[in-house]
Every structure is written in C-alpha cells, then in structure tokens.
C-alpha cells in the first residue's frame, strides 16, 4: 500500500486502531510510549458533551471511577483534555468478552458459571458501596483478561447516571431491554442497586442456560414477560441454582434478594473466593477539573505523524487472542463483534470486491482511502447494521482486512459476515495445506 497513513499521538500515548464505538465516544487502542503498557483510550467530543449538558455528570462519574480500584473492574488510569476532546485512559483487557464464550459454547457448566457470577457480584457489590450503578450490565460489557479473570467495563461510564432525585430514586430509563429490570421499564423511579442485581440474575441465567430468560421480537410482549418475570429454567440447571435465579428475578424490587443475602446462599458460596486487593490511599482528582479548562498549561498535545500504512507490532498482537498470533490469521476464528482475514490481493482490489459483495446484500457503501463504512438500508433489531472495514499492510504482498460491527445487532453481524465470507472466497488467502485439503 503506497499511500501514507496518518498516525496519532496523544501526549505520551501512541494511538492505534479503533476497538469500539458508541453514540458519544470512540475507543482506541494505544501504547504508553514511556512504559510500553497497552491501554484503551475513550475519546469524547467536548462539543457533544457540552451540547447535551453532560459535563457535570461526566466529571462526577470519572471522579468516582478513579476511586474504584477493584480486580474485577476495568481500571481508569487518567483523564486528559485538548481544546476539542476528552480522553479517558483505561486498562486494556486482552481476553475478549464473556459474550464470545456464550456464543461459541452455548452454555457453561455450573462450576464455570458460578465462578464468573461470583466475580461479577464482587465487582457490583464494591461499586454499589461507592454509589456507582452500571445500569447496562450484560455479557458484552463483561471482559476477560489474559488469565480468564472477569472485568466489568464502563462501570458508571456506559450509562451516565442522572442525580438521584428527592424520592431517592433514579429516573432515567436505559440499558439493553432483555437485561433491564421491570421497575426501570415502569418509569416511576427505581433503586440502582436492585436494578443492577436483576441484570446480574439475567446474566446468570444466560451463563447456565445458553439463552435469554426473556426474549420476544415484539417489544411490548418482551416488556410484559419481564414485568411478570415470565421465564422457565431448563431441566439441566440444578434446583439450588434455580432457586437463586428465582430470588434474583423477582419483579418486586422490595422483596428481591439483596447482595448480602446472595453472599450467604449455599449455591453461591461453593468454592467462593472473595476478591483480594489493597485499598489505595488518596487519588488525585485535579485532572478532572482541568479537562474542561482551555488554559494552555492543562491541554494535552495532539500530534499527527505521517507513516507508511503498515500495522505496528503491538497492534498486531492486540488483535490476536492473548498473544497467540496463529489465531490472527485463522478465517475459522470465533466470530465476535469484529473479525479479520488475510489476502494476497492488492488493496484496491479488496475494496472493490467487498463493495461488489455487499451491495446485493442491501448495504450502502462509503469509501475513504482504505477504510469503508457499510450501512444496511433496512433496519434490524437494534436499528441499521453499520459495519466498518479497514485494510492494513502486514507485508508488501500480504494485507489484513478487519471487519467490525460499528452499530446494530451482534447476531445480525454474525449472519452478515457469513454471507460476506462466501462471496469473498477468491480474495481470502489460504495456506497451501488448506488448498490441498479442499482439492
């Protein structure tokens, strides 16, 4: 690829590829040039933050997150600001999402599910004790580190809480419908701790059953099922686990089991290991106020450096599962919200082939250099499916193509990629042994 690519540096961080997108933010992979540590940087546009009057909320939530240092919660390291953006530097977690394990293996053994649920409860209990409520707990927001330890992501940042009102309740309806507590849907105010616990119960059901307890293509029917706690446990779930699920998925938040009671439950207590960590001393919060200042001394410098469009070694490693590079070039790899394949075709030919493949599938195509944005004109379960693709040069005659869901339903993305891969059979590079097997 002869065209140059602009690489970015934010302060001491070398910024790489986009690893996540939301309505108000993008998340970029980055490396601390001083320590070599890999991090994730969440980037928010100041103009959007101020326009939606979110500055106070973001400042409050960031301050809380900086105080939360728990082994089962993604760490927030620091906050920086430029004239136009806010940068939130987070721990980079390499093991993928818990959602991937569910997609790949359908359901878990009770021992494995219990271990993840215990870690989830440890994290939620700790954060609730500090007044932080997630309000969008689901397997996609539960990450795994290189050792398989669970990490709750975006705690207090994915759903920015409104101030608790005079009645002591929250009043903002948010979250993913299948995991949302009935009192949140009622829109009469709710206790953040009880609502989070309901979501934990749905997650436990999914881990043990392999499917959702409440699901219906019609949103009103789904709400009715949730409000009535209308679900049935499959026969392979033990009686003690069913009993705990039933106490958590109690539609009445006043009688729903509390975390203190869960910690005493016989099923939960089996092989339970409380989180071991040291409470740190005072945390410096000066950088939060500085984020919204325009004085030169508090602004981080943004630099753009022109470099050949070649993938960096640390980016290459970050794309693989753990540090196993063999998984990076495996077309049969487990499909998540992103996947990638390699090709020996020229970059322009790859772009043209993708465009030819997706237009019959009902996608509009926008191209800029070697990046493409594909948007399905037909809305799906969660709006229009939006796909981002980018081509990287691994070697002069070898390119890697990343295909990532930017917006829409994850399962619809899975279906899209299966269709796309069949249409790109002559583009995807196969090793010689793979070619011999197909002959």
Q: Is 286 designated active site?
A: no
Residues of the chain short of pLDDT 70, as ranges, are 1-7, 23, 155-175, 279-298, 301-302, 304-336, 430-439
Q: Which of 100, 125, 136, 145 is catalytic?
A: 136
**Which residues have CB under 8 Å from 415's CB, separation 6+?**
none
Dmax of the chain from CA atoms?
72
CATH superfamily of 98-269: Transferase(Phosphotransferase) domain 1 (1.10.510.10)
Task: Give 3-state DSSP helix, strand, coil % of the chain, rounded to 5.
Answer: 35, 25, 40
Q: What is the pLDDT of residues 294-338, one digit of tens each?
A: 555 557 766 765 433 566 556 665 665 444 444 444 444 444 677
Whole-prediction pTM: 0.66
What pLDDT is attached to residue 290? 67
**Domain residue limits, the chain:** 7-92+301-307, 98-269, 330-427
- In the three-class reduction of DSSP (H, G, I as helix; E, B as strand; rest coil), residue 151 is classed as strand
Q: What is the pLDDT of residues 196-240, one digit of tens each?
A: 999 999 999 999 999 999 998 898 999 999 999 999 999 999 999
What pLDDT is attached to residue 285? 61
CATH superfamily of 330-427: Kinase associated domain 1, KA1 (3.30.310.80)
What pLDDT is attached to residue 319? 60
Beta bridge partners of 4: 308
138 labelled as ligand-binding? no
Task: Determine the CATH number of domain 7-92+301-307.
Answer: 3.30.200.20
In angstroms, the CA 336 to CA 12 distance is 31
Q: Where are the alpha helices (DSSP H) in 281-409?
A: 286-291, 313-319, 347-358
């Amino acid at each position: 690829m002869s065209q140059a690519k602009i690489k970015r540096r934010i302060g001491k961080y070398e910024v790489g590829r986009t690893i996540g997108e939301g309505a108000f933010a993008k998340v970029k992979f980055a490396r601390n040039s001083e320590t070599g540590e890999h991090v994730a940087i969440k980037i928010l546009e100041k103009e959007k933050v101020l326009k939606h009057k979110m500055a106070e909320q973001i400042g409050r939530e960031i301050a809380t997150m900086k105080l939360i240092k728990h082994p089962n919660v993604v760490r927030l390291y620091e906050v920086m600001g430029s004239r136009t953006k806010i940068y939130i530097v987070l721990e980079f977690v390499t093991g993928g999402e818990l959602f991937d394990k569910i997609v790949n293996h359908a359901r878990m053994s009770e021992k494995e599910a219990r271990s993840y649920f215990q870690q989830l409860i440890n994290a939620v209990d700790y954060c609730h004790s500090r007044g932080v409520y997630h309000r969008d707990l689901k397997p996609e927001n539960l990450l795994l580190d290189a050792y398989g330890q669970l990490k709750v992501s975006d705690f207090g940042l994915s759903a920015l809480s409104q101030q608790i009102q005079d009645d002591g309740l929250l009043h903002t309806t948010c979250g993913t419908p299948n995991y949302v507590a009935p009192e949140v849907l009622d829109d009469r105010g709710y206790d953040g701790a009880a609502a989070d616990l309901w979501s934990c119960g749905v997650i436990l059901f999914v881990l043990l059953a392999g499917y959702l307890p409440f699901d219906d293509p019609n949103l009103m029917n789904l709400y009715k099922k949730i409000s009535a706690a209308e679900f049935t446990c499959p026969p392979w779930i033990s009686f003690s686990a069913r009993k705990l699920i039933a106490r958590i998925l109690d539609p009445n938040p006043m009688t729903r089991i509390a975390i203190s009671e869960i910690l005493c439950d016989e099923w939960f207590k089996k092989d339970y290991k409380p989180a071991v960590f040291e409470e740190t001393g005072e945390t410096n919060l000066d950088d939060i106020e500085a984020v919204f200042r325009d004085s030169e001394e508090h602004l981080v410098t943004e630099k753009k450096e022109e470099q050949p469009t070649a993938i960096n070694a640390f980016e290459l490693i970050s794309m693989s599962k753990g540090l196993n590079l063999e998984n990076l070039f495996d077309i049969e790899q487990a499909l998540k919200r992103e996947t990638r394949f390699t090709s020996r075709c020229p970059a322009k030919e790859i772009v043209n082939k993708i465009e030819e493949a997706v237009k019959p599938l009902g996608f509009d195509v926008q191209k800029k250099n070697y990046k493409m944005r594909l948007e399905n004109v037909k809305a799906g379960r969660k709006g229009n499916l939006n796909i981002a693709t980018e081509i990287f040069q691994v070697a002069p005659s070898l390119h890697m193509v990343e295909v990532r869901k930017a917006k829409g339903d994850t399962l619809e993305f899975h279906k899209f990629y299966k269709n796309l891969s069949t249409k790109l059979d002559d583009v995807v590079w196969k090793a010689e042994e793979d070619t011999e097997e197909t002959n």
